[in-house]
């Protein structure tokens, strides 16, 4: 699966690639065994760019509070010695797979931060629970993404 993601990585926007790299670096620095959805969401919020942040803002998600909450949640993640490249855990792989699927389903030729946010909201994890607690359920995220993409398409016409 991770090999498939490597092959698809060129379809990811530069911002989305940066978020994924940031998540992996964060997991490495914390000496975690793998990169999980919590690392991806934390990196998405820290990166501070992309449509995903606009979606979260429109949904009333408090970025700083979410970052603090995720900092605490990540403390419970298993730690080990840092090795070579830390792999994605099963949930993170599911998130990334769903991310690619949502981009396709929405007819986008690239995978943006909005698709990553959709993947995070759709796969059951601590990250998804934290998103729902702040009003960013999968359905709410999808509505906002569709609204923003629709507006963007209207402007481009």
Domain of 10 in residue numbering reads as 2-156
CA 134 – CA 147 distance, rounded (Å)? 19
pLDDT of 123-137, one tens digit each? 999 999 999 999 999
State the average pLDDT for the chain: 85
126-133 vs 37-47: helix crossing angle, rounded to 10: 50
What are the structure tokens assigned to 4, written together? 């498939």
Residue in the structure block whose two tokens are 């990166």: 47
Residue 103 belongs to domain with CATH number? 1.10.1780.10
Q: How many structural domains are present in the chain?
A: 1
Span 62-70, mean pLDDT?
89
pLDDT at 49: 81
Reading the block at residue 9, the tokens are: 């990585």
Tokens of 128: 């998804």
Rounded Cα distance, 138 and 117, in Å: 9
Question: Residue 72 pLDDT more than 80?
Answer: no
Whether 3 has a pLDDT exceeding 80, the answer reads no
Confidence grade of residue 48 (pLDDT, cut at 50, 70, 90):
confident
Share of the chain above pLDDT 70, in %: 83
């Amino acid at each position: 699966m991770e090999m498939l993601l490597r092959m698809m990585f060129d379809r990811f926007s530069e911002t989305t690639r940066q978020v994924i790299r940031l998540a992996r670096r964060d997991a490495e620095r914390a000496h975690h065994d793998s990169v999980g959805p919590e690392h991806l969401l934390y990196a998405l919020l820290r990166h501070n760019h992309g449509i995903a942040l606009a979606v979260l803002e429109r949904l009333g998600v408090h970025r700083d509070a979410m970052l603090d909450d995720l900092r605490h949640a990540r403390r419970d993640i298993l730690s080990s010695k840092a090795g070579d490249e830390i792999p994605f855990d099963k949930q993170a792989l599911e998130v990334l797979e769903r991310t690619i699927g949502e981009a396709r389903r929405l007819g986008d030729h690239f995978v943006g931060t909005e698709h990553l946010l959709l993947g995070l909201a759709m796969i059951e994890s601590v990250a998804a629970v934290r998103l729902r607690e702040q009003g960013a359920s999968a359905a709410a995220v999808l509505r906002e993404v569709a609204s923003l993409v629709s507006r963007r398409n209207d402007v481009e016409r």
